[in-house]
Structure 1
Amino acid sequence: MEYTPLSPFMRPISHANLRVVERTEATVPDRPINKWELLRELSKAQTAFGITERDLTVLQGLLSFFPHDALGGNAEMIVFPSNKTICERLNGMPCSTMRRHLSRLIDSGLLTRRDSPNGKRYARRHGDERIAFGFDLTPLFRRAEEIARAADEVRMAESSLKRLRVIVSLMRRDLAALAEFGQGVRPDFELWQQLHDAADAVAKALRRKLSAEVLGEYRTKLEVLLDHARSVIDGPETEHLNSNAAQIEQHHHSSNKEAIDSEPSLEKPAQCNNAQNGQVILLDDRNDQQEMRQMPNIPLHLVTAACPSLGVFYQGEVRHWHQLFAAACHMRPAMGISLSAWEDAQRCMGPEQASVVMVAMLERFAEIKSPGGYLRALTTKAASGEFSCGPMVMALIGKQSAA
């Protein structure tokens, strides 16, 4: 047609009408584009164009009236269904609703209305020339590259958001693990409970759909907490604990050798100090006094990780302290430790802590000259409140890390 109208029939003209550019061979791309692929790209980038899912539904209905799968080429890209036909194609959408979504598509620059002089939509031929009035899909075709770029940006943003969410989730898990590890190394610090609470708060927040800004804030906070936790665990106080473990074991190998090798018995009642409240309880071999129960200051899973030789004496996974105690009782005769030395260790250390000592000794069995004497020496220290099994396990973990 020689003239492209700008104004709609019996409607006021708008900026969307003024943005109409007449189609020429220079402005319309020659490469055909699949209309359904273009619709999928627009669906991904709908936010960038200010349209909704219902708008896309109406556009899909209009595209279904276009007879070819590809937009472009020499085909006329004007569809001219009536409002009633469009609503029927849209599964009975109300006409007023359909017109509202059509207006949004036109305002967004994805469609152009080509109204006839009387407002009817139709196509006629004048000789070899075909004249059509209706909805022009040319703007959608022209903006195909823009739509594709916007869709790629959305995909990149979604991928970045997904990666950020994974990073925050992993950092939260590491924070919880460091809090549990630090609780075993330095149970006197209140920091570990605070880290546990922070990890739990992040876990609850991750149940929701969070924006990139919120996830970025969580990542920044978690980085600070993780750095602080690592600095506390790897700080001089923790190193002092590890060196104490090495000094204790070296002490039993080098000094007071006769006492260790001869495995002296503890003839006097042992005084076991409660490290929590300073209470002293005298324990005899045969009396009915209450036994001191000192739980180990290190998590069980760290003990089993540091002592892989435990699997020789216990089949299956050790998940509870009573399972560790059963394994320790089974390995005691094989290690050449007398029953009296084992019972004394249980009374002054507690069954759980004595079991940790036993499995830790098993890991260094080849280096200990007299396991029974070694256990009695540690029992003596426990009786005076100078022993904790945590440094022994930490020394084993440090040895594994160095290997």
Structure 2
Amino acid sequence: MGYMPLTPFGRTVDAVLLKHQQAAADGSSMLSTVSKWDALRELAAARKTYGLNDRDLSVLQALLSFLPGKDIEPQPGVTVVHPSNRAICERLNGMPNSTMRRHMAKLVSVGLLIRRDSPNGKRYVRRYQGDRVAYGFDLSPLAVRFAEFSDAAAAQRAEEARIKQLRETVSLMRRDLLNLALCGAADYPEAAVWDQFHDLAHLTARDLRRKLGAEDLEALQARLAAALAETKRLLEPLFAEEPGTSDARNEHHYQNSKKDSFESEQTVTAAHAVATESKDETGYAEKRSADSPVHRETPPQPPKAPAPSGPSLPLRLILAACGEIQGYAGGTIRHWGDLLRAADTVRPMMGISTAVWEETKSAMGAAEAATVVAAMLERFSDIRSPSGYLRHLSAKAVSGRFTSAPMVMALTRRGAAA
């Protein structure tokens, strides 16, 4: 090409446009050809760095399709394409002409294209004595700035990998915090922070639905790390290890002295082994020793009230029979802690006093008491005095003559018959 114009036809010129043209001219020496599709791929990965969107890259891809071959020469003026606006819009699947020109102006302002306009502003190619003279869009900046595009793409990929790792870390920390908060609410309900940690886990899950940046994810990670540290401190007895009697095996032992239990267990009552070999006429236990004929008599111990146990039915079956309690949970009931919180919410509305509620939880266990309240809510219109009825059931539970299973199964049969 004989002379390369610097200014576009019928358009104003600014310093940025001249700067991009000068950079393309200065950086063309000692550079090799670049694959046009490699340049497009690297530029697509680094599009956020240059403020480009997918429509801008679509227009650039259409222009590259007019360039013969697969390579772009770094010499300005050599790789000039001259399609008409109509031809470009056809390759863009009918994009409006005004939209295409707006995206084309964006590519020129970023410095990815250089306008080589003819004297009358038309795009065409001429040959004079073997020399090719073309007017249109110069694609040589894609080859000149290819190393810059590659570095920006590598930095963008590293940032995306870092964000992905942060999201995974935050997601795992959120899951641990939620499970530990539920565990703490079951074993140490007297602590007041479990609801706060539970809410933090759910709010974090809601935040993860959005597309967060690295700074936002780091802030979430710091909050979750502090909450997990406090949770582990409160649950330190659960993490403590006690050595077993064998050197070849370490055993984890934890005994919960509290009456509340959120696990569905059946209480196994074992008869005391002491003082069971024989009884005399007075009813006193007699223990015989093989080494000594001495007889030691011990007075009988008064019977102890059975320890409360969790419901013998699974939570899924209880919720299927007692669906009314779902409306007071503020969400889906997934664990025994959720059922207990729903029972705590609905209990004052049913007229059950705090004293009776605490007495019931001590007599039955928290999970059993919550199940009874859920079952009572299903038949609330038939119960004259819910507080007195619950006190009566607590008295039966103390003597070991009550379980919530018949109540739940009766509701299940009534629902199946309806």
Distance (Å, rounded) in 2 between the aligned partners of 1:195 and 1:348: 36
Distance (Å, rounded) in 1 between the aligned partners of 2:239 and 2:164: 39
Q: CA distance change for structure 1 residues 6 and 280 in 2, over 3 Å: closer, same or farther?
A: closer
Number of paired residues? 285
Matched-pair contact (CA < 8 Å) for 2:82–2:124:
yes
Q: CA distance change for structure 1 residues 18 and 294 in 2, over 3 Å: closer, same or farther?
A: closer
1:261 equivalent to 2:263? Answer no
Distance (Å, rounded) in 1 between the aligned partners of 2:74 and 2:140: 11
- Counterpart of 2:193? 191
Q: CA distance change for structure 1 residues 99 and 279 in 2, over 3 Å: closer, same or farther?
A: closer
Distance (Å, rounded) in 2 between the aligned partners of 1:95 and 1:279: 74
TM-score, normalised relative to structure 1? 0.60
Distance (Å, rounded) in 2 between the aligned partners of 1:187 and 1:12: 73
Q: CA distance change for structure 1 residues 66 and 294 in 2, over 3 Å: closer, same or farther?
A: same
**Displacement, 1:61?**
1.1
Q: Which has the higher helix share?
A: 1
Question: 5+ residue gaps in structure 2?
Answer: 243-251, 258-271, 277-284, 286-298, 309-353, 369-396, 405-418
**Displacement, 1:76?**
2.4
One-letter identity of the residue aligned with 2:108 = I
One-letter identity of the residue aligned with 1:158 = E
State the secondary structure of the residue aligned to 2:11.
coil
- Counterpart of 1:104? 106
**Displacement, 1:113?**
0.4
- Counterpart of 2:55? 54
State the secondary structure of the residue aligned to 1:133.
strand
- Counterpart of 1:287? none
- Counterpart of 2:70? 69
CA deviations on 1:63-118 (whole Å, 9 max, x unpaired) are 11001111127892100112222222222222222222111111100000011122
1:223 equivalent to 2:225? Answer yes
Deviates more, 1:71-80 or 1:45-54: 71-80
Distance (Å, rounded) in 2 between the aligned partners of 1:22 and 1:199: 52
Distance (Å, rounded) in 2 between the aligned partners of 1:143 and 1:113: 17
Q: For residues 265-344 of structure 1, what are the structure 2 equivalents within 5 Å?
A: 268=302, 270=304, 292-294=363-365
Q: CA distance change for structure 1 residues 262 and 28 in 2, over 3 Å: closer, same or farther?
A: farther
| CA RMSD of superposed structures (Å) | 4.1
Matched-pair contact (CA < 8 Å) for 1:122–1:134:
yes
State the secondary structure of the residue aligned to 1:220.
helix
Q: For residues 1-400 of structure 1, what are the structure 2 equivalents within 5 Å?
A: 1-19=1-19, 20-21=21-22, 27-28=28-29, 30-72=31-73, 76-234=78-236, 245=255, 260-263=273-276, 268=302, 270=304, 292-294=363-365, 347=399
State the secondary structure of the residue aligned to 1:225.
helix
Distance (Å, rounded) in 2 between the aligned partners of 1:218 and 1:194: 15
CA deviations on 1:94-143 (whole Å, 9 max, x unpaired) are 22222221111111000000111222212222223221111100112111
Distance (Å, rounded) in 2 between the aligned partners of 1:348 and 1:188: 26
Matched-pair contact (CA < 8 Å) for 2:43–2:150:
yes
State the secondary structure of the residue aligned to 1:97.
helix
State the secondary structure of the residue aligned to 2:197.
helix
Q: CA distance change for structure 1 residues 109 and 243 in 2, over 3 Å: closer, same or farther?
A: closer
Distance (Å, rounded) in 2 between the aligned partners of 1:22 and 1:271: 90
One-letter identity of the residue aligned with 2:204 = V
Distance (Å, rounded) in 2 between the aligned partners of 1:273 and 1:91: 76
One-letter identity of the residue aligned with 1:66 = L
- Counterpart of 1:256? none
CA deviations on 1:145-193 (whole Å, 9 max, x unpaired) are 1111111111111111111011001101111122122233322222222
Distance (Å, rounded) in 2 between the aligned partners of 1:28 and 1:349: 96
Q: CA distance change for structure 1 residues 157 and 261 in 2, over 3 Å: closer, same or farther?
A: same
Q: Which has the higher contact order (CA 8 A, sep 6+)?
A: 1
Distance (Å, rounded) in 1 between the aligned partners of 2:305 and 2:233: 37
Deviates more, 1:36-45 or 1:218-227: 36-45
One-letter identity of the residue aligned with 2:275 = S
**Displacement, 1:346?**
9.2
One-letter identity of the residue aligned with 1:49 = Y
Matched-pair contact (CA < 8 Å) for 1:114–1:136:
yes
Q: CA distance change for structure 1 residues 235 and 122 in 2, over 3 Å: closer, same or farther?
A: same
Distance (Å, rounded) in 1 between the aligned partners of 2:365 and 2:180: 23
Q: CA distance change for structure 1 residues 198 and 350 in 2, over 3 Å: closer, same or farther?
A: farther
Matched-pair contact (CA < 8 Å) for 2:114–2:139:
yes
Q: CA distance change for structure 1 residues 16 and 185 in 2, over 3 Å: closer, same or farther?
A: same
Q: CA distance change for structure 1 residues 236 and 77 in 2, over 3 Å: closer, same or farther?
A: closer
